[in-house]
Amino acid sequence: SLQEGTLIIAGSSVKAGYTVLGGEVAGLEFGTIIVTNASLRIAENTRLKVSGDFLNYGRVDAESGSSVELVGNSPATFVGDTVFKEIVCKVPGKVLKVKDGAVLSVDELCYFAGGSLSRINFSSLEGGAWSLKLAEGAISSIVNLNLFRCDASQGKTLTAANSTLTGCENITAKELSEGNLVGWTGAAGSDFENAANFSPMRVPLASDNVVVKADAHARHISGMKIEEVPAAGLALTHSL
């Protein structure tokens, strides 16, 4: 179960050195994280779960392979420019708000999957614009969102499937059917977010059933972190 406490990291200056989550701080599940006049670093390969707010009044960055997953049904607010390697939310109906003008930067994986009847609502805190900056080499999977005033023009173009976009920039809407069987072929490489690697040729939704057969090119599928497929084959449901 989640430790519903609040992690507060406070200091006199962001230059005073980092507090490392996954290092000096024990426990990786929190209600709210508050960083004030201090620096926080999420350590390599650390999987962090946050059920409340992520309030950055200092400096926050992350090492390779680290992840922040937004969990629980409570609304969550982001404050401050924050760098994530991976950010994940799979909670239908989750309400997420970002302080106007803040930039959320994602270097490796941006994964948001709401429900077809209960979308994730992602908007600004006060009605202004906010930014989601996706690095060129990052993977994104955005499905079933209501997205408001999100400016993605600082990074690469995002695609949002089965989503409503209001006042957004550099984000493309796409409509996909759900609940189908999608087969991995690996015809175009190892990238799970490349439609050319599937039959039919489209990236699976969270609700789809993904099948990887024994003769498929699936020794390594990036984004799914599958290192080996058994000789008998492997059936997967698209999830992280």
> What are the structure tokens assigned to 166, written together?
């209001």
Name 24's Cβ contacts closer than 8 Å, sequence gap at least 6: none
* pLDDT of 216 strictly over 90: no
The predicted structure's pLDDT at residue 129: 97
DSSP state at residue 169: B
pLDDT band at 25 (very low <50, low <70, confident <90, very high): low
The predicted structure's pLDDT at residue 236: 44
* pLDDT of 68 strictly over 50: yes
Report the pLDDT averaged over residues 24-36.
Answer: 81
Nearest CA-CA partner of 83 in 49, 99, 111, 106: 106
118-140 in b/e burial notation, b at 16+ Cβ within 10 A? ebbbbbbeeeebbbbbbeeebbb
> What are the structure tokens assigned to 198, written together?
């599937």
Only one residue has tokens 């650390």, namely: 46
* pLDDT of 228 strictly over 70: no
Which is more confidently placed, 211 or 158?
Answer: 158
* pLDDT of 232 strictly over 70: no
pLDDT band at 24 (very low <50, low <70, confident <90, very high): low
Nearest CA-CA partner of 222 in 186, 180, 181, 182: 186
Report the pLDDT averaged over residues 7-35.
Answer: 82
DSSP state at residue 205: P
Element (H, E) at 34: strand 32-42
pLDDT band at 41 (very low <50, low <70, confident <90, very high): very high
- What is the value of pTM for the model shown? 0.74
Q: Strand locations in 43-128, DSSP E? A: 47-50, 54-62, 67-70, 76-79, 82-89, 95-98, 103-113, 120-124
The predicted structure's pLDDT at residue 237: 39
Range with the poorest average pLDDT among 54-68, 132-146, 183-197: 183-197
Mean pLDDT value across the chain: 83
The predicted structure's pLDDT at residue 200: 75
Range with the poorest average pLDDT among 50-54, 188-192, 204-208: 204-208
Percent of the chain having pLDDT more than 70?
80
Asked if 162 and 138 touch (Cβ cutoff 8 Å), the reply is no
* pLDDT of 94 strictly over 50: yes
The predicted structure's pLDDT at residue 62: 94
Which is more confidently placed, 179 or 52?
Answer: 52
